[in-house]
């Protein structure tokens, strides 16, 4: 199910609608790249502080400089162009298909950079205007 970050006060979306696995992968990547900083998506209504917006900005630049190092060969799990068999990958990794999707998405630098930029813009909007934002389920 797709999710997006919306501004509660303005009743508008601030990011693209993306699968929840993409947003969870972004948080996972934040923990990998910045283990001492807590970067979290707004799972409940939240107004971000200036300090949090600085942390998100730093995270964005870390994602920009990120060089993914896959711990396994993902190509053997493709069943069609741009289609991965997450069930088979999950079985090989000994995890769930959702966890396998999160792992693969953290390795997709283009996707992570786009999601990080969108989340950063939402955080900056929240911090600058004092608006509460929230990650919500999309209609599409």
Structure tokens that stand for 49 in this block:
């502080």
**Cα(119)–Cα(14) distance, rounded to whole angstroms?**
8
Residue ranges, the chain, pLDDT below 70? 140
> Could you tell me which residues come within 8 angstroms of residue 42 by beta carbon, excluding any fewer than 6 positions away?
5, 48, 122, 126, 132, 133, 134, 135
* pLDDT score of 140: 63
Structure tokens that stand for 80 in this block:
């069609």
* pLDDT score of 77: 94
The pTM score is 0.92
Beta strands per DSSP E along the chain? 2-7, 12-13, 18-19, 78-80, 83-84, 133-137
* pLDDT score of 72: 86
């Amino acid at each position: 199910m797709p999710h997006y970050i919306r501004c509660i006060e303005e009743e508008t979306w601030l990011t693209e609608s993306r699968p929840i696995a993409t947003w969870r992968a972004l948080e996972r990547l934040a923990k990998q790249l910045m283990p001492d900083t807590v970067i979290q998506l707004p799972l409940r209504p939240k107004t971000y502080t200036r300090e949090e917006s600085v942390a998100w900005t730093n995270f964005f630049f870390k994602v920009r400089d990120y060089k993914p190092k896959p711990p396994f060969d993902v190509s053997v799990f493709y069943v069609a162009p741009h289609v991965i068999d997450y069930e088979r990958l999950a079985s090989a990794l000994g995890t769930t298909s959702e966890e396998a999707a999160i792992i693969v998405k953290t390795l997709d630098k283009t996707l992570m950079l786009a999601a990080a930029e969108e989340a950063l813009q939402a955080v900056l909007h929240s911090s600058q205007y004092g608006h509460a934002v929230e990650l919500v389920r999309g209609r599409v």
